[in-house]
């Protein structure tokens, strides 16, 4: 392999020798002021690519490696100092603070127009530097060609209190990262046809020449792509696209500017009609793999969502840290090359929720910065801000804002409420919840209504529902209305029907069908959900519905006073426990309706119900979650 290092740095030359025994050095001079990127990480990567491309003009057949190292204090880039005064100012700014050393990397071959980029990042914390320490170092006269005005190998422990990451990266060339990326770049490429998507994720699914599964992030069914294998995942190979040889008519232009990095909508690059075909096909294959072909035969055509964007009535956004600054957004997508945990991607918009995000976020972030609040880190217990939950009724427009913290007191929240109301006049409820538990979920441990009322109201299936901060309510109002309408039709309800709803939540299904049944009883393990369901029944004047708190396993163990005609189960994603399934089946209801958000747990539970004497007469998928791999399914069984 002909390797060219596009750098004049003697330090990089020494470190490169640990990567490859033979390589050429070709110093490049590029105008970094032409780099428009302001983010330090993106700046370093773009600058590295510029260097690699410039050297590749002279060596078009070689693998050219470009590198650029920057020191970042927050979002401020500290490059090479112009003079001693500039260097002095940089070292003073770094004194006693943590900064990032980022090396952008680029691997480029001009003849094939192939480019692979990456980066390495190290956190460095300086001690408090005295003027004598600073001047003593500057007297050495070696600072002019150093990003941030220092070289770690020269200042050592005298300046550095802590270093988290690769030491070589701080020197200017992360040897191990370069070795891994070079191996990826040199790996043989081959062409595959994308057949499907690898549920539950969004990777394109293909087969290599040996018949092994190949997962290709970002690829769309119907495409032919040139790929390189970069990792293994069980029996599958993970590959990255080198070149798109023929695009698919199923590819779509993502509407969200955060698509790809965000861990939310994974299917926005796929045409919606194709999304529906893929989800319906995934459901059928999952049922076929259960070993009962009759189940797949019962699948009905998928029902699309009435709305493709702005359909979600609830979003849980997370606080975190991004480049040393407070971030508010969604968790980053985990990929083969970026195995992240809890990293928050700042977002300024969320098309699947609605435009109110663009008005609320700036107000909350400004409030947080004014008070010096940071994102909460469960592992350390440090930080104050956990989540921002937005709930907006799609039929009434009423907005609820929930600020979840690890404890910030109440000072200033009344003022924040006023600022939020000015930015979003549709806000009816502003709630503060607090918990210091080490989980990464919203905990309603301590709840205080800061402004407005403790609920918002939504309309569904002719009913009005009050939604509280912890209430379970289907996130796609219009789609849920279609599902509940089909449920009422296929459950064979009559004015004499006795219906038992298990895992009833706030009673949306039970109350939506109460007008067609004789008596409806809902069961849920959450007392808050039961209280909410009772209130919703009273609000709508429904007198033939009762709601009972308790677990399904415990309540169904008790003898029933009267038989049940229809059982409705809407369990969590994991499905029914073995005991709950057996006891639900033992009720002997002529009709059992199963509402599921997980094809795998649905297939498992349907097998158990069929073994208990039921027959699946209809399995109807509903797309309540456009642009995501998720699917809601309505299964109707009879005996």
Active site residues: 597
Tokens of 496: 């004499």
The residue with tokens 């003022």 is 415
519 φ, ψ (degrees, to nearest 5): -145, 135
Rounded-to-5 percentages of helix, strand, coil across the chain: 30, 30, 40
Strand ranges across the sheet with 446-452? 344-346, 325-331, 314-322, 385-392, 399-405, 427-434, 446-452
By DSSP bridging, strand 591-596 and strand 566-569 are parallel
C-alpha torsion 247→253→256→262, nearest 10: -10
521 strand-pairing partners = 500, 546
Distance between CA atoms of residues 504 and 552, nearest Å? 10
Per DSSP, 215 falls in state E
- Show Cβ contacts of residue 187 under 8 Å, excluding neighbours closer than 6 positions: 228, 229, 230
Distance between CA atoms of residues 350 and 149, nearest Å? 41
* DSSP characters over 370-418: HHT--B-BTTTTB-SEEEEEEEE-TTT--EEEEEEES---STTHHHHHH
* DSSP characters over 273-294: HHHHHHHHHHHHHHHHTTT-HH
Q: Label each residue of 92-114 as H, E or C.
A: HHHCCCEEEEEEEEEEEEHHHCE
Distance between CA atoms of residues 566 and 518, nearest Å? 11
Residue 193 belongs to what H/E stretch? strand 189-193
The residue with tokens 């549920």 is 199
Distance between CA atoms of residues 585 and 588, nearest Å? 6
Per DSSP, 565 falls in state S
Distance between CA atoms of residues 552 and 550, nearest Å? 7
602 strand-pairing partners = none
CA atoms within a 13 Å half-sphere pointing along the CA-CB vector of 624: 26
Tokens of 280: 């319906």
């Amino acid at each position: 392999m002909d390797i060219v290092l596009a750098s004049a740095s003697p330090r990089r030359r020494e470190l490169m020798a640990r990567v490859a025994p033979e390589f050429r050095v070709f110093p490049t001079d590029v105008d970094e002021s032409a780099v428009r990127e302001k983010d330090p990480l993106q700046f370093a990567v773009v600058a590295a690519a510029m260097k690699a491309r410039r050297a590749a003009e002279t060596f078009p057949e070689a693998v050219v490696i470009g590198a650029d190292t920057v020191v970042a204090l927050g979002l401020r880039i500290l490059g090479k100092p112009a003079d001693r005064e500039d260097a002095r100012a940089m070292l003073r700014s770094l004194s006693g603070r943590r900064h990032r050393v980022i090396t952008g990397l680029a691997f480029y071959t001009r003849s094939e127009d192939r480019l692979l980029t990456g980066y390495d990042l190290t956190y460095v914390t300086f001690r408090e530097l005295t003027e004598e320490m600073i001047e003593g170092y500057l007297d050495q006269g070696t600072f002019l060609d150093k990003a941030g005005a220092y070289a770690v190998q020269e200042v050592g422990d005298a300046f550095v209190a802590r270093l988290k990451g690769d030491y070589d990266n701080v020197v200017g060339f992360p040897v191990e990262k370069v070795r891994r990326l070079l191996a990826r770049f040199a790996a043989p490429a081959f062409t595959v046809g994308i057949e499907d998507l690898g549920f539950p994720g969004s990777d394109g699914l293909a087969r290599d020449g040996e018949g092994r599964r190949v997962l290709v992030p970002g690829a769309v069914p119907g495409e032919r792509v040139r790929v390189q294998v970069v990792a293994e995942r069980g029996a599958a190979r993970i590959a990255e696209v080198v070149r798109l040889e023929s695009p698919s008519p199923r590819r779509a232009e993502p509407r969200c500017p955060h698509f790809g990095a965000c861990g939310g909508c994974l299917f926005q690059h796929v045409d919606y009609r194709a999304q529906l075909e893929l989800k319906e096909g995934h459901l059928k294959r999952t049922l076929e793999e259960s070993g009962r072909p009759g189940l797949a035969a019962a699948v009905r055509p998928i029902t699309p969502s009435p709305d493709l964007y702005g359909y979600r009535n609830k979003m849980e956004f997370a606080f975190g840290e991004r480049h040393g600054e407070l971030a508010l957004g969604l968790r980053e997508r985990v990929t083969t090359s970026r195995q992240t945990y809890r990293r928050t991607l700042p977002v300024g918009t969320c098309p699947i929720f609605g435009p109110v995000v663009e008005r609320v976020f700036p107000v909350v972030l400004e409030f947080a910065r004014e008070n010096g609040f940071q994102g909460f880190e469960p592992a350390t217990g440090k930080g104050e801000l956990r989540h921002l939950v937005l709930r907006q009724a799609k039929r009434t427009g009423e907005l609820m804002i929930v600020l979840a913290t690890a404890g910030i007191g109440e000072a200033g929240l009344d003022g924040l409420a006023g600022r939020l109301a000015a930015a979003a006049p549709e806000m009816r409820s502003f709630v503060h919840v607090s918990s210091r538990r080490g989980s990464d979920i919203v905990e309603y441990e301590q709840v205080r209504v800061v402004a407005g009322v403790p609920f918002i109201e939504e309309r569904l299936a002719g009913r009005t529902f009050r939604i509280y901060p912890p209430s379970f309510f289907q996130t796609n109002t219009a789609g849920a209305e279609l599902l509940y309408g089909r449920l009422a039709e296929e459950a064979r309800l009559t004015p004499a029907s006795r219906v038992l709803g298990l895992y009833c939540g706030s009673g949306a299904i039970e109350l939506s069908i109460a007008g067609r049944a004789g008596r409806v009883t809902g069961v849920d393990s959450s007392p808050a959900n039961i209280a909410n369901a009772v209130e919703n029944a009273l609000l709508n004047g429904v007198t033939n519905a009762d709601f009972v708190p308790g677990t399904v396993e415990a309540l169904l163990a008790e003898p029933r006073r009267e038989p049940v005609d229809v059982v409705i189960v809407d369990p969590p994603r994991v499905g029914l426990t073995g005991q709950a399934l057996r006891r639900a089946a033992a009720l002997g209801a002529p009709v059992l309706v199963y509402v599921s958000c997980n094809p795998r747990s649905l297939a498992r539970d349907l097998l158990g119900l069929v073994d208990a004497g039921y027959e699946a007469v209809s399995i109807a998928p509903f797309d309540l979650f456009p642009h995501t791999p998720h699917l809601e399914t309505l299964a109707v069984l009879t005996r």
